Structure formats: C-alpha cells, structure tokens
C-alpha cells in the first residue's frame, strides 16, 4: 500500500489511531445524476442547507462557495458584502478605514531591495512549484529557530500564493462531500468559502465575549467521527485571542480520538502581546497530523507579495502540494528570495514590530475607553473588539454603517464573521484594525470621541 495510507512514525495502516489520507469516492456517480437547472432551485436555497451548513450537490461550486462565505442574498443571488459596503462608505466619506486588515506602512527597505534586484537580475519566470529551495530552507530554519521544530525543506515545506492558497489547497486535498470541518467562530471568511466549495459540513465552536475562550465541552461535542479537519486559527482573527495551551492539547487529543487532520493557520504568529505563541504542532502528538500555515504578509507588512507556506509531515505536504500546483503552480519568483532573507532578520526586528503594533493597539483601546466604549484588548493579531451592547443603539452593523459619515472612521461588525443563525450573539461587537501608522490611529481616536453621539441617535 502507498505511504499515503500511513501515519508518519506509526508504521501501521489504517486503525483507530492512524490517519487515513484517502477515502472512498464511491459517491462520485451522484454528481452525474444531479445536473439540474440552478435557477429552478433558487426558491429553496434558504432551506436547502439546514443548521449544519452543508449544501446539496445540486448546487454549483460557485454557489456553495458564496453561500459558505455569506455572499448570497435571500434570493440566492450574489449580494454586497458588509466589507464592500463599509469600504465604499469609507471611500465616499473619506473616512479612516479601520475595517480593512492590512498595514498602511511598508516593510523593511532592505528586504524590498532584494526583490527589486531580483527582478532586475531576471527572476521573472516560474519559480519551482514547491517554492525556491532557499526560501524553503529559510522557512525550515525559522521553525527550528523559534520553535525547535525540525523540518526537511525538500519534502516538508511547500510555498504558496499567500496563506489563503495554502488553506484552500489543504481543504481541497482532504475533504469529500459530507465531511465535517470544525472551526472556531467568529472565523476568517475564506474558511467558510472553501468548506462550502468542497460541499463539506462547517461546524463551529463559539468564542464568546469578553474572553473569547472556547468551552471545551462544546469543542468535544463538535468533533465527531465524521470530522475530517479541525481548522485552528491561532492567534485568532477577528477576536485577537491567543488560545491557551490546554485548548491546543484538547484539540490534539480530539484529533487522535476521531482520526482527523489539524490545519493550523498561524499567520499572526509574530504578532502577540505579552504572551508567547505556541504552535500546535510543537506539542506532544501534534506534529504527525498537523499542517501549519503562515505567510510573509503579516510578519513583514508585505501583504501584496502573497508569499505563504505550509509545513508538516511529508505525506500531508505531498498531498497539499499536489493540489496546490494546479491552483497557481507558483508565484512571486522575485519575492521569494526577499522573504527568505526576511525570515533571517534578528529577533530584535520581530520583537520591535510586535511592540510597535501593540502600542498602536493600546492607543486605540485607550481612546475608545475614554469615549466610554468598552474594549476587549487583544493578546495577538492587529484587531481589537469594541463592545457596544450596553448602549441603546447596540446593533454593531447599524453603527458601522453610520460611522463613516458621522465620525469619519470605519469598522466592521463582528457579525460578518459568523453563521447567520448566530449573528445575534455578536451583534453588539465591532472589530477595529490597528495596523496603521501612529498618526492615523491618533486621528481616528480623536474622531471616535464622538462615537456616543451615534449611539444616542
């Protein structure tokens, strides 16, 4: 039998303790029997999913993707997302946009120069499908340097077009229709979109204010023998929480108990405040069934370069790479040597970057509190959450729509990151991004002092 049917380090084939990387496709005949006109099914789209968020195979892949990411309106047609709506309002009213989660400052100039020189020197054709060897070696060295993880850059590292592609390739590689994927809620919208595309079932474990820590009993109930993937974002967007080691240990135990894969999205690994990031793969039992994903965008403020990566056991990375090569094959040949050098920057760079970011977050948090708005301070990422539940006008989505015109500041309601049936649980929470220049944050704080006026309207 193929090594793809074995778990690294066990030497045993499929059992209750071993990870099976291939599942029967005997349901494939169903696809050819379900070619129906999608427009005939539009009236039933609202009731087609049920509470488990799985979409029937009759619906086209794009529609399952859109539904998963809450992009369809009540008629089943693509609608305007809250992100698009708030961005348009911010642009129209020239507001400071603290809804968009990307930095407004550049990364290290010496790293940019490497990319510029690479373009001038001819690094403009396809990079290897797995990524350049020097970048894969730098990623492996980074994991050893920060977390004492030993990786083979030849077989246990693959470079992707941003972390989003690595997430997509990982989910596409392992999910079949009806498989369950467990994530924490709120969640990054890409997760739900890709789960919908695969026609899997998206189950959530809620992270509730004010501490945004999961209830372990809820987690145990969510993970079952039907669970194929536990998708963990840590540090967590959009709540800013950093999961306790006890939570990570429980995830590992459940993955072993129910024989599933862990996909760890750790793109904010270097953006923590007063706590240390612990990769789930570094804990006992985690490495053999975990795909770890990260990127250069968050750590170095080069989000547009779209250089990400996935690391893990050879058999898992081989599977991800097989799918990934038919998505983009490769990208960023001039950016890859620059990112390789960035990963070798001294510890002081990473420490200073996190400290500066944390200071911006504290300025924003203190400013909101001065205005009378309770804040849930983050332990990581570059997002913080404001709590407007105690005000007369406590619908964060409505407040977010008013803010660009009334205050000249934009934010995103947390309800945009959850299943529709759970929106009421988050309707009083606003997410602010503080990955902006200090003078921009200070200007936003001054404008936000009038936020109580919006609540009294």
pLDDT band at 391 (very low <50, low <70, confident <90, very high): confident
CA gap 441, 155 in Å, rounded: 43
Tally of residues, the chain: 457
pLDDT at 81: 82
CA gap 369, 375 in Å, rounded: 7
Of 19-28, 68-77, 103-112, 408-417, the least confident? 19-28
Contacts for 313 with CB less than 8 Å, ≥ 6 apart:
8, 156, 287, 288, 289
Mean pLDDT computed over every residue of the chain: 88
Query: Token pair of 293, please?
Result: 């994903």
Beta bridge partners of 90: none
pTM for this entry: 0.88
pLDDT at 77: 84
Q: Is 275 helix (H, G, I), strand (E, B) or coil?
A: coil
DSSP result, 336-353: HHHHHHHTTS-HHHHHHH
- In this predicted structure, the answer to whether residue 246 has a pLDDT above a threshold of 60 is yes
pLDDT tens-digit profile of 10-46? 333 233 345 655 443 333 333 333 333 333 444 444 4
pLDDT at 49: 43
The verdict on whether omega for the bond into residue 198 sits within 30 degrees of 0, i.e. cis, is no
CA gap 144, 355 in Å, rounded: 23
Q: Which of 430, 340, 421, 420 is CA-nearest to residue 140? A: 340
Q: Which of 120, 123, 157, 160 is CA-nearest to residue 331? A: 160
Q: Which of 360, 415, 361 is CA-nearest to residue 388? A: 415
- In this predicted structure, the answer to whether residue 3 has a pLDDT above a threshold of 70 is no
The verdict on whether omega for the bond into residue 186 sits within 30 degrees of 0, i.e. cis, is yes
- In order of 59, 197, 198, the CA distances from 36 in angstroms are 8, 18, 19
Query: Token pair of 231, please?
Result: 């998708």
Pairwise pLDDT comparison (33 vs 452), residue with the higher score: 452
Beta bridge partners of 261: 229
Residue 439: count other Cβ atoms within 10 Å of its Cβ: 8
- In this predicted structure, the answer to whether residue 97 has a pLDDT above a threshold of 60 is yes
- Percent of the chain exceeding pLDDT 90 equals 79
The verdict on whether omega for the bond into residue 184 sits within 30 degrees of 0, i.e. cis, is no
Compute the average pLDDT of residues 425-434: 96
Query: Token pair of 288, please?
Result: 């053999």
pLDDT tens-digit profile of 284-313? 999 999 999 999 999 999 999 999 999 999
pLDDT at 455: 74
Query: Token pair of 426, please?
Result: 């988050």
- Strands 307-311 and 290-295, how do they pair? antiparallel
Cβ–Cβ under 8 Å, residues 147 and 301 = no
CA gap 5, 9 in Å, rounded: 12
pLDDT at 26: 37
Burial of 443: CB neighbours in 10 Å, binned 0-12, 13-18, 19+:
middle
- In order of 50, 78, 107, 271, the CA distances from 214 in angstroms are 24, 32, 34, 21
């Amino acid at each position: 039998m193929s090594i793809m049917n074995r778990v690294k380090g066990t030497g045993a084939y499929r059992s209750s303790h071993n990870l099976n990387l291939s599942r029967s496709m005997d349901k494939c005949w169903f696809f050819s029997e379900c070619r129906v006109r999608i427009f005939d099914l539009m009236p039933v789209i609202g009731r087609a999913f049920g509470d488990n968020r799985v979409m029937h195979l009759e619906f086209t892949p794009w529609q399952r993707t859109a539904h998963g990411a809450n992009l369809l309106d009540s008629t089943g047609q693509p609608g305007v997302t809250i992100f698009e709506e708030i961005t348009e309002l911010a642009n129209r009213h020239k507001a400071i946009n603290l809804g968009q989660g990307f930095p407004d400052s550049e990364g290290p100039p010496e790293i940019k120069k490497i990319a510029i020189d690479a373009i001038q020197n001819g690094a403009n054709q396809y990079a290897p499908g797995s990524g350049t060897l020097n970048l894969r070696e730098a990623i492996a060295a980074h994991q050893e340097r920060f977390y004492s993880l030993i990786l083979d850059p030849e077989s246990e590292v693959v470079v992707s077009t941003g972390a989003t592609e690595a997430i997509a390739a990982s989910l596409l590689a392992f999910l079949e229709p009806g498989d369950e994927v467990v994530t924490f809620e709120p969640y990054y919208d890409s997760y739900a979109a890709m789960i919908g595309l695969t026609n899997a079932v998206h189950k959530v474990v809620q992270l509730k204010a004010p501490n945004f820590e999961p209830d372990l009993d809820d987690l145990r109930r969510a993970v079952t023998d039907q669970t194929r993937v536990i998708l963990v974002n840590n540090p967590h967007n959009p709540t800013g929480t950093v999961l306790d080691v006890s939570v990570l240990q429980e995830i590992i135990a459940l993955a072993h108990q129910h024989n599933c894969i862990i996909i760890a999205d750790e793109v904010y690994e270097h953006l923590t405040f007063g706590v240390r990031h612990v990769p789930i793969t570094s804990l006992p039992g985690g490495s053999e069934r975990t795909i770890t994903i990260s990127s250069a965008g968050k750590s170095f403020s080069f989000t547009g370069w779209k250089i990400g990566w996935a690391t893990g056991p050879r058999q898992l990375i081989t599977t991800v790479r097989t799918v990934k090569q038919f998505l983009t094959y490769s990208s960023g040949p001039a950016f890859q040597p620059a990112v390789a050098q960035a990963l070798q920057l001294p510890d002081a760079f990473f420490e200073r970057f996190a400290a500066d970011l944390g200071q911006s977050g504290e300025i924003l948090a203190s400013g909101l509190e001065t205005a009378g708005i309770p804040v849930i301070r983050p332990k990581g990422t570059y997002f913080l959450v404001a709590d407007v539940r105690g005000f007369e006008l406590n619908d964060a989505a409505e407040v977010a729509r008013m803010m660009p015109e009334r205050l000249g500041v934009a934010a995103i309601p947390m309800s945009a990151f959850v299943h529709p049936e759970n929106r009421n649980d988050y309707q009083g929470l606003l997410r602010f991004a503080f990955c902006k220049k200090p003078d921009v944050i200070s200007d936003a704080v001054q404008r936000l002092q009038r936020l109580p006026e919006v609540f009294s309207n």
